[in-house]
A and B are shown apart, each in its own frame.
Chain A
Amino acid sequence: AQSVTQLDSHVSVSEGTPVLLRCNYSSSYSPSLFWYVQHPNKGLQLLLKYTSAATLVKGINGFEAEFKKSETSFHLTKPSAHMSDAAEYFCVVSLSGNTGKLIFGQGTTLQVKP
């Protein structure tokens, strides 16, 4: 079965320091992988997506993620955290050929301290 595991439910960083949000996936097929962000009382915003092109994917707001098939990981990073990055982040897998169904990780809450 396909699944996504976000290894940390809560991450706290200081403003200006690097961010690392960890995600492992399990899939029998070639997956499409996404990171979405959700600010309080808002919908989900796409940060970036991987669809079997370059393994290093750049997204919006300085975020990037690297697809590592050998480790079945898709960790999200940002060199320098900003206060506005405080939100909940979801790692998501979409099954190849199974359009329209996304499987979400449980989410990681990112806290950014001044």
Chain B
Amino acid sequence: EAGVVQSPRYKIIEKKQPVAFWCNPISGHNTLYWYLQNLGQGPELLIRYENEEAVDDSQLPKDRFSAERLKGVDSTLKIQPAELGDSAVYLCASSPGQGPYNEQFFGPGTRLTVL
């Protein structure tokens, strides 16, 4: 069974440029999460999807960040425009359902560097 796929693995951009990250969850997983992991920190949730619906986006900085999961499968996280402080690892995770007993499976993440 394929795991959570993320691309690109690395991205370097100039500040004020837009950037997008893509995530393909494990087949059949209805719940998808985007996490932000700053250097030396644990991941922090940005947004959670149940199928195509964003059910928790309270920690997503909506002035510059957006996300979509149009068909309830793969998802894209976008930053526009990027700032120096956005340099971090962006992790995607998926689980079979939203209940707390459901294990979250993580992808390898995208490391973003903003110059």
Partners in one complex: no
The chain A residues found within 8 Å of chain B, CB to CB, are none
The chain B residues found within 8 Å of chain A, CB to CB, are none
